Copies of this chain bind each other. A is one copy, B any other.
Amino acid sequence: MVITSRDNPNVKRIAKLTRRSEAKSEGVIYLEGTRLCEEALASGQKAMEVIVTEDKVSWAKEFTPDIEPLVLSKDVFAKISQTVNPQGVAIIIKEPGISADIPSRGDNKDIYVVLENTQDPGNLGTIIRMADAFGLTAVIVSPTTCDPYNDKVIRATMGSVWHIPVVRKAMDECFEYFGKNNIDTLAMHLKGSELGSGDLRLPCAYFIGNEGDGLTDETSQRCTKLVKIPMKGQAESLNAAVAASVIGYELSKLI
């Protein structure tokens, strides 16, 4: 049966979940569009609900065969859609365990990138994608860092948000874990010493600060060492995702 009314209780419920703040408070993620939905499903995320337009019922049969989709008229789908040109495909999935423990590979070659107060969704997404590409163990985000399941972040990860653990931890808990497990801690800091090959050893956690302000003094002081990426030009600093990627790449050579 095709739902043609915006006032249908199921439609109302889904419409609410298209707002990230509502979905977050229920521990779910609303994903819309074929690329985003297929990436998540291909990576093993399970759809809790599937919402399609009439002409996309075949999509639902192919990608989510075990779930009865909610079929909406194009008009109703367009009303709840978060995109300008709706593709008529959306799913709701459970949020992966963002508050889980810090994971480990178990071979003393862990690499963690720790983000303290990263604000730009594009940067966060790019860092998650890079961390997946270079085989890092996890991306750890401070409670003040932007929501990893923000739509812009998910898009920028190109699917990597489903491949690599993203863990939210207070800095205190991070340092406790890293100390207990003899994990080197590197603060990326413009006042640090220029990174040399001797600075890098595994296991390692490296800390990247806020785009404008860098790391807090408190976090910098708790790290083993303050380092900066050698720069030979006039620019005073690098984009946060670029800095994270250069170090991630250098550390990945040691795996």
Question: Which residues of A are in contact with B by a Cβ distance under 8 Å?
Answer: 122, 126, 129-136, 156, 158-160, 163-164, 229-239, 241-242, 245-246, 249, 252, 255
Contacts and interface: CB of A to CB of B under 8 A. Distances in A.
A232 B252 CA distance: 8
B156 A235 contact: no
Q: How many copies does the complex hold?
A: 2
B233 A126 contact: no
Contacts of A246: 245-246, 249
Contacts of A234: 132, 160, 163-164
B232 A134 contact: yes
B163 A133 contact: no
Contacts of A242: 126, 129-130, 241-242, 245
Residue of A130, A136, A159 ringed by the most chain B CB atoms within 10 A: A130
Nearest to A133: B235
Nearest to A211: B158
A239 B156 contact: yes
B255 A132 contact: no
Contacts of A255: 232
A164 B133 contact: no
A134 B231 contact: yes
A135 B230 CA distance: 10
30 contacts: A122-B122, A126-B239, A126-B241, A129-B239, A129-B242, A131-B233, A132-B233, A132-B234, A132-B235, A133-B233, A133-B235, A133-B237, A134-B231, A134-B232, A135-B233, A136-B233, A158-B236, A158-B237, A159-B235, A163-B235, A164-B234, A230-B252, A232-B252, A232-B255, A239-B241, A241-B241, A241-B242, A242-B242, A245-B246, A246-B246
